[in-house]
Amino acid sequence: MNLQQWLAERTFHHSNFWDIKWLVEQKERQGVTISLCLPTLNEEKTIGKEIVILKAELMDRYPLIDEIAVIDSGSTDRTCEIACAFGADVYVASEVLPELGVQRGKGENLWKALYLLKGDILVFVDADIGNIHPRFVYGLVGPLLQIPEVHYVKAFYDRPIVYSNVLRPTGGGRVTEILIRPLFSLFYPELTAILQPLSGEYAGRRSILEKIPFPVGYGVETAMLIDIHQKLGLTAFAQTDLDQRVHRNQETTALGRMAFGILQTVMNRLEREQKLRLLQELPTIMRQFEASDGTYRQLEFDIREVERPPMIEIEAYRAKFYSASVS
Amino acid sequence: MPQNTVSVPAVKEIPELLAPLRERLLADLITLTQIPAPSGDEGKRVRFLLDRFIEAGLSDAGTDQIGNAIGRLRGRRHNRTILLAAHLDSVFPATENHQVTVDSEKVVGPGAGDNAMGAAGLSLLPAVLEHLGLELESDLILLGSVRSLGRGNHAGIRFFLDNCGQRIDCGICVEGMQLGRLNAFSIGTARADIICTIRPNNGSSRLYASESPLVVLNHVVQQILGIPLPTQPYTKIKLGRMHAGRYYDIEPERAELGLEIVSHSDDMVRQLCGQIADLVAESGARYAVDIQFDPFFTTAAAGIPFSHPLVKCVADVMNQLGIEADQTHYPSELCELLMRKIPAVTIGITRGVKNHPRDPDHVLIEPMLKGVAQLVGILLAIDEGRADESPAVAR
């Protein structure tokens, strides 16, 4: 399947999957289970609404999802309390598989979701979506239930950013356009067809997710794309237009640190795949500057994209999900 | 008597039985709150409500010519028709950020209580009855009314009542809040704008002897305050809003005053409207400005006595649920039913806040299921005939 063919055949709009009853029938016919994971860190403003909407529509009204879990990175606000109040299973990432050490980051939560959640299909949705709607889940699950060859579905959208109380019609995706797309164009041209590689919403089959490593920080989305592409090729992917997504804006400096983490992840893979040879180990310090009263101060951020191994390599995981073969 | 698939639950047990539906109720509330619906532009909320009715298998769901959302739930015997009405419009313009936040105690968003909560109670009702295994003898009409607020002047429900072509035996107006309200009468009301503008003068500045609209409006206010009001019947003129000008050094070209006249006597409301219209016209002539008195919203004084069986049975349901009844008057669409001699009450689903200068609009989650249970309890009581009038009770 070439890139143009893939774009034509594997790019969907969420409205293609509006018939949730049909999706439930497909799910039951295929005998698969679906888990929804919401990774959180201080999301008290949006988590309640997300859980209520998704649980009401996709568990209570139509049984598309079998479980909703919040995996938290140590929120200091009321995120966990609110999530619990509306019926989500709440886990604190640091308390899961503690024998493997504690890492902090969204990727850590996603990796541990593989261990904690039961579903054959896992859906990951960021917890900061202002305009949450069931399409954020069924739009991603749809291609997986419709096409057996699809193993991983990525969201894309038009992302207005909330400034005060006013919606700006376009914006977002700066790291994608300035960093990811040039990198993919250079080294992974097929992946340029993924319109928003850094979107926080995606769904995948456990059978592939358990076989790839997870960077614990900023690089997790990029790594998933590269690693799944390496194992299964472009045909394993699909993408769905979820229309508008309202989220918080991030400062450019924060995006700079994000880009630094992602670059480490990509460099690691380029070296692993022998597409690039680094003559020395890369530093992990990201330097930024702030100006105040005519003086300039250098800020140093130590950003290390630690990676978790494929979950299938973890003994506790194999014991939980493949106990028959272990014994 | 209702023939139900399970035994009819005791009213006080219903809130707990509804617990599995709590997130669905909240989801409908959030979704409705997030759909902007200024009066006259409620189409998306209408569509949402109709989708819910259709999903619930209502035999007859659609809109009428004015755009109301209507769903009919046929009863087993069709021996009476009960109307449940919730207005779908909101005072907030579409440009307002309608995003909702939810914490473990409350749902915060513009118009959450007035009246997304009432509409959510209506949207979930078919599912509630199904969940409880209840099938009524009476026919139910679920009405999501449009163009209720402000200049809408109850146009949606008026149109429905005047054109539905069938007898309505009983009505319940469903408002989001406050839980405990039991309104059975309406006060005669007129809302009006007085708009004063500079009279055009062929390009030159102002007519001889003309005055600033702001000053003229102040004169009008003084005259209104001088109108003698009777102690009986209860009558009041409320000066609610005023707007004029932007700068310190430039006299405004336009000034507006919004007022409300309420009275237990419709004649008194009419009389006061006439007096104000006269003094406004005189001010326009005296100060050489264009000034208009525009009474855009009127309702009549009407009601059923507290001894009416409908009021009694609603109070009884509230009592069984531990809800303290508040029978004072609050404005709602109730008057449209009462004016047409249809016994009706207005109730609220939960507690909350609206139009507070420092506290954003919100509704509390905890009382909601009790509010919905109250609605079910009232329906069951009406269905059993407990709200039927004896010949001695006059409407």
Q: What percent of chain B has pLDDT over 90?
A: 87
| A246:B99 CB<8 A | yes
Instruction: Give the per-residue pLDDT at B205.
Output: 58
Residue A244 banded pLDDT, cuts 50, 70, 90 = confident
- Which residues in B lie closer than 8 A to residue A60 (C-beta atoms)? 20-21, 23-24
| A52:B26 CB<8 A | yes
Q: Which residue of B has its CA nearest to A80?
A: B104
Q: Are A213 and A307 contacting, i.e. CB atoms less than 8 angstroms apart?
A: yes
How far is it, in rounded angstroms, from Cα B378 to Cα A327?
A: 61
How far is it, in rounded angstroms, from Cα A51 to Cα A55?
A: 6
Tokens 């009474």 belong to B295
Tell me the shortest Cα–Cα distance from A88 to chain B, in angstroms: 11
Strand ranges in chain B using DSSP code E only, listed in sequence order: 60-63, 69-73, 81-87, 101-102, 106-108, 139-145, 170-177, 185-186, 188-198, 235-244, 254-263, 289-299, 302-303, 344-350, 352-353, 362-364
Sign, CA dihedral A59-A65-A67-A70, equals negative
Q: Are A59 and B19 contacting, i.e. CB atoms less than 8 angstroms apart?
A: no
Q: Which residue of B has its CA nearest to A51?
A: B23
ipTM of the complex: 0.84
- Which residues in B lie closer than 8 A to residue A62 (C-beta atoms)? none
- Chain A, 64 to 103: residues with Cβ < 8 Å from chain B are 78, 81-82, 85-87
* pLDDT (mean) for B2-24: 85
Q: Tens of pLDDT along A77-129?
A: 999 999 999 999 999 999 999 999 999 899 999 999 999 999 999 999 999 99
Instruction: Give the per-residue pLDDT at B209.
Output: 65
Q: What are the tokens at A104? A: 């902090």
**Residue B358 above 50 pLDDT?**
yes
Instruction: Give the per-residue pLDDT at A327.
Output: 44
Tell me the shortest Cα–Cα distance from B151 to chain A, in angstroms: 27
How far is it, in rounded angstroms, from Cα B36 to Cα B54?
A: 22
Closest CA to B282 of B191, B189, B194: B194
Instruction: Give the per-residue pLDDT at B142.
Output: 98
Any B CB within 8 A of A169 CB: no
Cα–chain center distance at B186: 11
Instruction: Give the per-residue pLDDT at B6.
Output: 55
| B30:A162 CB<8 A | no
pTM above 0.90, yes or no: no
Mean pLDDT of all residues belonging to chain A: 92
Any B CB within 8 A of A55 CB: yes
How far is it, in rounded angstroms, from Cα A190 to Cα A208?
A: 19
Beta-carbon contacts below 8 Å between A and B: 56
How far is it, in rounded angstroms, from Cα A10 to Cα A5?
A: 8
Q: Tens of pLDDT along B105-134?
A: 999 999 999 999 999 999 999 999 999 999
Instruction: Give the per-residue pLDDT at B395.
Output: 42
Instruction: Give the per-residue pLDDT at B152.
Output: 93
Sign, CA dihedral A133-A134-A137-A139, equals negative
Tell me the shortest Cα–Cα distance from A52 to chain B, in angstroms: 5
| B99:A130 CB<8 A | yes
Tell me the shortest Cα–Cα distance from A175 to chain B, in angstroms: 26
| A82:B23 CB<8 A | no
Instruction: Give the per-residue pLDDT at A170.
Output: 38
- Which residues in A lie closer than 8 A to residue B100 (C-beta atoms)? 49
| A53:B31 CB<8 A | yes
Of A56, A82, A166, Cβ closest to residue B23: A56
Sign, CA dihedral A91-A97-A101-A104, equals negative
Q: Tens of pLDDT along A197-221?
A: 999 999 999 999 999 999 999 999 9
Instruction: Give the per-residue pLDDT at B98.
Output: 92
Tell me the shortest Cα–Cα distance from A165 to chain B, in angstroms: 6
Write out the residues of chain B at the interface with chain A, using a CB-CB cutoff of 8 A.
20-21, 23-24, 26-28, 30-31, 34, 55, 96-97, 99-104
How far is it, in rounded angstroms, from Cα A69 to Cα A124?
A: 10
Instruction: Give the per-residue pLDDT at B202.
Output: 65
- Which residues in B lie closer than 8 A to residue A129 (C-beta atoms)? none
Mean pLDDT of all residues belonging to chain B: 93
Is residue B175 classed as helix, strand or coil in its secondary structure?
strand
Burial B324-338 (b: 16+ CB within 10 A, else e): eeeeebebbbbbbbb
Tell me the shortest Cα–Cα distance from B48 to chain A, in angstroms: 13
* pLDDT (mean) for B321-343: 92
Residue A172 banded pLDDT, cuts 50, 70, 90 = very low
**Alpha helices by DSSP H, B19-116:** 22-34, 43-55
Any B CB within 8 A of A21 CB: no
- Which residues in B lie closer than 8 A to residue A53 (C-beta atoms)? 27, 30-31
Instruction: Give the per-residue pLDDT at B208.
Output: 61
Tell me the shortest Cα–Cα distance from A59 to chain B, in angstroms: 10
| B104:A60 CB<8 A | no
Q: Which residue of B has its CA nearest to A46?
A: B101
Residue A163 banded pLDDT, cuts 50, 70, 90 = very low
- Which residues in B lie closer than 8 A to residue A166 (C-beta atoms)? 97
* pLDDT (mean) for B278-304: 94
Residue A6 banded pLDDT, cuts 50, 70, 90 = very high
| B99:A131 CB<8 A | yes
